[in-house]
Structure 1
Amino acid sequence: MGRNMGIAMVCLPDRAEVFVTAARLCVLAALGLSITACASSTTDNVAPAASMTAAADAPVTSVAPRNTGTYPNLNIAPRAAAPQLSDEETSSKKQELRQTLAGQSRAGANGAPGATDLQQLREIGRRQAEAAAGQAATE
């Protein structure tokens, strides 16, 4: 009894106080880490120096509109970027698309061509399973 006389009695906090204190410490630690991460970042961390100089030396080729200081002339007819299809080419392309569509709809009406694919896939799977079982038995 005489040995414990010099130690002060400590009152322990309840669980809620411990949780709030731990949460505050975590927030402070995260805030400190984020501040130090921002302070230590440079452009060298983002991209290598070689790519930065190459991009700076590259000629500027922009397709953005230029400000010429004048109003645009809307009376000039726009130019086509590529030659337009003739009426004969348009009708032949439409006919080709119709034939392709008809062929696809016929294939679907023949009793689901996917069913034969499914049977083939199941057969391949069965063979592979048998081969794996046979290989496992020999090892």
Structure 2
Amino acid sequence: MTASGNMRRMWALAPVLAIVSGCVSASLEDAVPGARNTGSYPNLNIPPRAETEQLTDEEAADRLAALKTQRDAQNALPTAAANDVNRLKKLKKSHAEDTLKEIEN
């Protein structure tokens, strides 16, 4: 046997071993354990307990009003986009004039 013959056998056997290894799997019980058996049925009549104190209607209205005033204050500020549009229009005109002068000279 030559070394090249051994290599050919290994290359031929590698895909077969890869395919066969895909057939081996763990049992489903090990992958996803079931619910814990406490020996009794759950009582669905107990209301769920909140993790934190809930906001009252007045607190929710106050926070909503504060958010709306902040939103209105931000909307009242001049945006950079409006300034950029004017600056770009001026730049477009000056570039057009400069290019035309270069072409004519």
Higher relative contact order (CA 8 A, sep 6+): 1
Normalising by structure 1, we get a TM-score of 0.33
